[in-house]
Amino acid sequence: MIYDIQCLHDNDSPQRVNEFINYLETIKGKSENTLDAYKIDLNLFFRFIKIYKGFIKDKNIEFEDIKIDDIDDSVIKALTLSDLYAFISFTEKYRHNNARTRARKVATLKSFFKFLHSKIRIINDNPALELETPKVSSRQPIYLTLDESLALLNSLDKNNKNYYRDYCILTLFLNCGMRVSELCGIDTTKIKGDTLSIIGKGNKERTVYLNESCKKSINDYLNVRDNTKVPFEEKDALFISSMNRRISKRSVEILVKKYIKAANIDNAEIYTPHKLRHTAATLMYKYGNADIRSLQQILGHNNVSTTQIYTHVDNEQLRETIQSNPLAKLK
């Protein structure tokens, strides 16, 4: 039998990039989105290197048309820390990348060169070892208030044929804090009573506990869900699109935007499924007295430092704190 192994090799990328991506996928279990991000960053880096090192003589060639599949070990071994900083400077000045995006590219380079140095040992010195990460200012998460969350759930039209599906999607987002990829990947076979198994980042499975609202919305949807026209390999998909396939992330993003707008929520354009994840975490922390470690497990974070952005103090809490000062009522 002849196997199709072309998928293991991207003809547009350098060989060592392909090896790194395969390693991340098979050993580290990184998600497809993460793999794509690494590949984009590294291909951008090596296109820059071909210009920066004078390998490109044609001044009129488009940046994206620069071939990098010919990058060999001799080029990689000659790279220095200064070359890496030059690339990061390039992404800021010419690609207009902000500090957060540049920090991601630094993380990509550090992982890549660590792989080359420690795993396949094609370089004796790791030029990214002392590469520093741009300072990233902390950002307050954007989220819906409790009243806005209720308005969102009440914005759905019960005469819509997809009412029960869409209501269930919004309910799971607002109660469980799922990522959009996790929600789209839910299978009916993974729902057992008040528990749901989902596949998170890094292909890791975790258990989500369902409250009464979630259980009811799922049961209501299952009562009207029709998978008779769904292909066999997707029969178990919980959420089915109008095309009778597992619902896509893009479809979920569109429906969230639609209902946010219908709920007349201010600045509706800034809200995405990920902002509903922020909302769930904030509501659990503010009203459910969830501690940081519980939130970490619920959200599927590897590091508790990631979860800490949800434990912010909002303006209402600040106002209440000021009003609680015993001197506040003096006239």
Catalytic hit among 16, 50, 246, 301: 301
> Which residue out of 16, 47, 165, 179 is catalytically annotated?
179
Give the SS3 label for residue 207.
Answer: strand
Residue 301 appears among annotated catalytic residues: yes
Half-sphere exposure of 97 (CA within 13 A, CB side): 19
The answer to whether 105 and 91 have CB atoms below 8 angstroms apart is yes
- Judge whether 173 and 280 are in contact, CB under 8 Å: yes
Tell which residue, 123, 40, 122, has the closest CA to residue 81. 123
95: annotated active-site residue: no
Query: Is 277 noted as a catalytic residue in this protein?
Result: yes
Beta carbons of 254 and 271 less than 8 angstroms apart: no
Choose the catalytic residue: 110, 201, 216, 312. 201
In 129-234, DSSP assigns E strands to: 191-192, 195-199, 205-209
Q: Is 206 a catalytic residue?
A: no
Q: Which of 30, 50, 277, 286 is catalytic?
A: 277
Q: Specify whether 9 is catalytic.
A: no
Is 274 an annotated catalytic residue?
yes
For residues 316 and 221, give the distance between their C-alpha atoms in angstroms, rounded to a whole number: 36
Residue 276 CA, distance from chain mean position = 13
**12 φ, ψ (degrees, to nearest 5):** -90, -10
- Which of 104, 110, 117, 274 is catalytic? The answer is 274
- What are residue 246's DSSP bridge partners? 240
Length of the chain, please?
A: 331
User: How many other C-beta atoms lie within 10 A of the C-beta of residue 134?
Assistant: 17
Q: Catalytic residue positions?
A: 179, 201, 274, 277, 301, 310
